[in-house]
Chain A
Amino acid sequence: MSVLSPRTKPTGPVANSLTSGQLPRFAELYILGASLLVSALLLLLVGFSVVGWLVLSAVIYLVALALLSSVVENRRKATDRVIRGLVTVAFLLALIPLISTLATVIAQGIGEISWSYITSVGASTFDPNTLTVTQTPGALQAIVGTLIITGIASLISIPIGLFTSIYLVEYALPKQWLARTVTFLVDVMTGIPSIVAGLFAFSLFSIIVGPKAFSGFSASVALSVLMIPTVVRACEEMLRLVPSDLREASLALGVSKFATIVKIVLPTAIAGLITGIMLAVARIIGETAPIFLAASFTDNFNANPFDGPMQTLPVLAYTGYAFPGKDIAASNASAWGAALLLVLLVVILNLIARVIAKIFAPKGMR
C-alpha cells in the first residue's frame, strides 16, 4: 500500500491524478452562461431576436466547449462533450414544437370554447334585409359526429384486434405460415397512409351504395382499417407479457384452453389491454383525412351514421381553414375551438390510459 501513495512528492498543489487534465466540474454551465451573455451582447449590436439569440448561443457554446476541451483535455473528450451538447440541443429542439403547438392551440382556442360552443350546432344565417351572413359558432354536430364515428370504429376494431392478438399469442404456432403472414400484414397495415384508408372506405361504399356514399359508418370503416393494427400490436404485446406458468398451471388442472384464456390470461392482462385500446382510440380520434373523404363535412346536425355526411371535430378544424365560410375570421376561430377540444379529448384519453396502466398493473411483474 505504501507503494501506492509515496509521500516523497513536493508540497503545494499536487495535480490530483483523478481530476488533472479536466475541465472543472461545472465548466459546461459556465460556458453556457458565458455564451448566452456574449451572443446577447453581439445581437444587441445588430438587432435582438429571441430565436437568433438562442441559435447563436448554441453555436458559440459548442465552439467554445470544443476549443476549451481540446486545449485542456484532449480531442476525444472534446468530441464527447460536443456530441453531448448536440444531443441535448436536439432534445430541446423537439420540445419547442411541442410547447409551441400546445401554447398556440390553447391561446387561439380558449376564447372560442364556451358552454354555448359545445352545446349548440354551428350555423350561418342569411339576413335578406341587410344581405349579410352571420355565423353562430357551435361544435355540437362535430362532437356528436366524432363520438359516433369513433365509437363505431372501436366496436368494429376492438373485437377483431383482440381476437387476432389472441390467435397470434395463444393459438398460432410461431412458424405457422398464417401467423407469420398475419404478423407481417399487421406491420404493413400500420403503415397504410390514413388518406388511403379513407379512399378505400369511399370506393367500397360508392360501389355498394352508389353515389352519395358519404356516411358516418363509412368513416368508421376507414378508421377501423387504421385502428385494427394498433389494437393488435398493443394487445399482442400485453398478452405475451402474461407468464406462461399461469397458462400451464391452468391447463395442468384440466381447464380447457378457452377457459384458460378467458379466466386466466385476459384478466391478468386486462390493464394493459385497456391501456393499449385507449391509446389506439386516442390515435384515431384525431384522424382528419379519412373522415373527410368518407363522411365529408356538413354544418347540419346528423346523428344517423348510415345516412348522409357527418361533421367531426378534426374535419371542422380542417374545413374552418381550407373551406372557410363567408366570415373567414369566424370560421378560423371555430377551427381553433375544435382543435382545442380535440387536443383536450386526446390528452384526457391518454391520461386515463396511463392511470389505468398504473393502478391496475399486475403486481410482481417486471
Chain B
Amino acid sequence: MQSAPTSSAGSAAKATGNTPLGGGGSKDSTATKRSTRVRPGDFIFRGLSTGSAVLIMVILAGVALFLIISAIPAITADWSTNSDLNTGPTAAFPNFWAYVGPLIWGTLWSAAIALLFGAPIGIGIALFISHYAPRRLASLLGYLVDLLAAVPSIVFGLWGIIVIRPFLLPLSDWLNANLGWIPLFGGAVTTTGSTILAGALVLAVMILPIITSISREIFLQTPRLHEEAALALGATRWEMIRLAVFPYAKSGIVSATLLGLGRALGETMAIALIISPAILVSVRLITEGQNSQTIAANIALNFPIATTLQRDALIGTGLMLFVISLAVNSIARAIVGGKRGKRKKGGGKSSSPSPLSQLPSGDAAVSIALDDVTREGRATDVDTEAHISEDDVEGAGK
C-alpha cells in the first residue's frame, strides 16, 4: 500500500478514478476475461487454418465433380451416330466403354512392365543405401536418388527418344528372332524402337526414386536391436535383412510399390513421346503398330486436335484414370495405416521373436563388440569360437 503510490504515480494519474489497488484488481479481471474470450487474431487464424483444411476437401471433390460434369455428354452419347464422335480419333468405337477399355488395358500393362523393372531395382537401391553403403556415402547416394526424382518427366521423355529407343533395337531384334513364338515378343519387329518396352523402361526409371525413397525410409526404421540380435546370433548380412528387416518393412515395401504403380499409371510424357500407339488390347512388347496406348498419353496426343465432344470423351478417359489411381493410392495408404495400427496393438512381441527363431540352429556365433557387428566378415563361424568363449567363461570363473 505504501509503495504503490510512489511507484506508479504517473499511471495512477492517467487511470483517473482508479486507486492503485483498484487498478491492479481491474487488470486481473481483464486478464481472466481475456483468457476465456476468443481473441480476434486467434479466431481469424484458427478460421483460416480450418478453412484451408476444408478447402482441400472441396478441391478434391471439385476435381471429381468437374471431370464428371464434363465427361457425361461423351459417356452418354451414341458414338456410332454422333457426327462429332464418329470421326477423328474417336472414330470406329461404338460407345465410350469400347474406347476406354483398351486404354485402361494399355495403362495397366505399361505400368505393370515398368513395375517389373522398377520395383526390384528400387528396393535393391534402398537396401544398398540403408544397409550396404558406407555410412558417409549413404547420404550422398540418397541425394543422388533425390536428384533422379527432381528431373522433370519431359526430360526423361526426350532422353528416351534419343537414347533408349536405339539402345533397345538390337535387343528387340534378338528377342523377336529367337523368342518370337512367345506372344510378348511376337509380331512385326520394330525398326524405329518406338515400342512399349522402351516406354515402360523410361517409366521404370521415373518410378525408381519414389520406390527407393519410401523403402529406404522404412528400412532405416527397423529396430536396431533386432538387426544386432540377428547378427549376434551369427546371421550373415543377408540373413539379417531377410529375418529382421524384411518382416518389419513388408507393408512399407508393398505400399512403396503401389505408390510407384500410381505414379506409373499417371505418367504422360514418356509414353506420349516414345511409343507409336494404337488403341487396342495387345501384349506385344516390341512391335510398332501394336503398342497398347495409355490413357494419359492418348489425352496428351489428341487433346489439341479434338473437337469439343471428343475433348469430353478424353476427359471421360481421364476420369477413369483418376478413379484407378485413386483406388491404387488408397489401397497403398490403407496397407500402411492398417499395418501400423496392428503393430501398435500387438505390442513389441509381434515381429521380433518369430523371425529370429527361424535362424538355423547351431549356427550361433560369438558376438563381438556391438559396434563392430555390422561390419562384414567379423561374424565368424561357430565351432572354435564357441569353445573359446566357454573356456573364457570358465577361466573367468576360476
Residues of chain A at the chain B interface (Cβ within 8 Å):
1-4, 17-18, 21-22, 25, 51, 74, 76-77, 79-80, 83-84, 86-91, 93-95, 97-98, 100-102, 104-105, 108, 159-164, 166-168, 170-172, 178-179, 181-182, 184-197, 199-200, 202-204, 206-207, 211, 225, 228-229, 232, 254, 256-259, 261-262, 282-283, 285-289, 292-293, 296-297, 314, 317-318, 321-323, 335-336, 339, 342-343, 346-347, 350, 354
Q: Smallest distance from the beta carbon of A335 to chain B beta carbons, Å?
A: 7
A261 x B238 contact (CB < 8 A): no
* Interface SS, B side: helix
Interface residues of B in 19-68 (CB under 8 A from A): 31, 35, 39, 41-42, 44-46, 48-57, 59-60, 62-63, 66-67
**B208 contact set on A, CB distance < 8 A:** 94, 97
B238 x A83 contact (CB < 8 A): yes
**B236 touches which one: A18, A76, A159 (CB < 8 A)?**
A76
**B321 touches which one: A79, A181, A196, A347 (CB < 8 A)?**
A196
Query: Which single residue of chain B is at the shortest CB-CB distance from A160?
Result: B52
A181 x B152 contact (CB < 8 A): no
Asked, given contacts A86-B124, A288-B154, whether A21 binds B272 with beta carbons under 8 Å apart, the answer is no
Asked, given contacts A94-B148, A171-B50, A192-B63, whether A317 binds B125 with beta carbons under 8 Å apart, the answer is no
**A196 contact set on B, CB distance < 8 A:** 63, 67, 266, 318, 321-322, 325
Query: Which single residue of chain B is at the shortest CB-CB distance from A279?
Result: B150
Asked, given contacts A289-B269, A339-B155, whether A17 binds B48 with beta carbons under 8 Å apart, the answer is no
Q: Smallest distance from the beta carbon of B254 to chain A beta carbons, Å?
A: 15
A104 x B159 contact (CB < 8 A): yes
A79 x B56 contact (CB < 8 A): no
Interface residues of B, count at CB 8 A: 108
Asked, given contacts A105-B155, A108-B162, whether A178 binds B52 with beta carbons under 8 Å apart, the answer is no
Q: Smallest distance from the beta carbon of B74 to chain A beta carbons, Å?
A: 11
A192 x B322 contact (CB < 8 A): yes
**B384 touches which one: A17, A108, A339 (CB < 8 A)?**
A17
B154 x A286 contact (CB < 8 A): yes
Q: Smallest distance from the beta carbon of B311 to chain A beta carbons, Å?
A: 8
A200 x B63 contact (CB < 8 A): yes
* CA A278 to CA B35, docked complex, whole Å: 38
**A83 contact set on B, CB distance < 8 A:** 237-238, 241
Q: Mark B348-382, 1 if CB is under 8 A from A, else 0.
A: 00000000000010010000000000001100110
Question: Is B259 at the interface (CB under 8 A from chain A)?
Answer: yes
16 contacts between A and B (CB under 8 A): A79-B238, A80-B239, A87-B124, A94-B122, A101-B159, A163-B52, A182-B53, A191-B325, A193-B265, A194-B268, A262-B45, A289-B269, A296-B304, A321-B157, A321-B273, A322-B272
A3 x B394 contact (CB < 8 A): yes
Query: Which single residue of chain A is at the shortest CB-CB distance from B117?
Result: A93
**A321 contact set on B, CB distance < 8 A:** 157-158, 161, 273
* Interface SS, A side: helix
Residues of chain B at the chain A interface (Cβ within 8 Å):
31, 35, 39, 41-42, 44-46, 48-57, 59-60, 62-63, 66-67, 69-70, 120-122, 124-125, 127-129, 132-133, 141, 143-148, 150-159, 161-163, 167, 205, 208, 212, 236-239, 241, 259, 262-263, 265-269, 272-273, 296, 299-301, 303-304, 308, 311, 314-315, 318, 321-322, 325-326, 328-330, 332-333, 360, 363, 376-377, 380-381, 384-385, 388, 391-392, 394-395
**A178 contact set on B, CB distance < 8 A:** 50, 53-54
B145 x A94 contact (CB < 8 A): yes
Asked, given contacts A4-B392, A182-B53, A194-B266, whether A292 binds B63 with beta carbons under 8 Å apart, the answer is no
**B329 touches which one: A187, A194, A211 (CB < 8 A)?**
A187
**B66 touches which one: A100, A192, A200, A296 (CB < 8 A)?**
A200
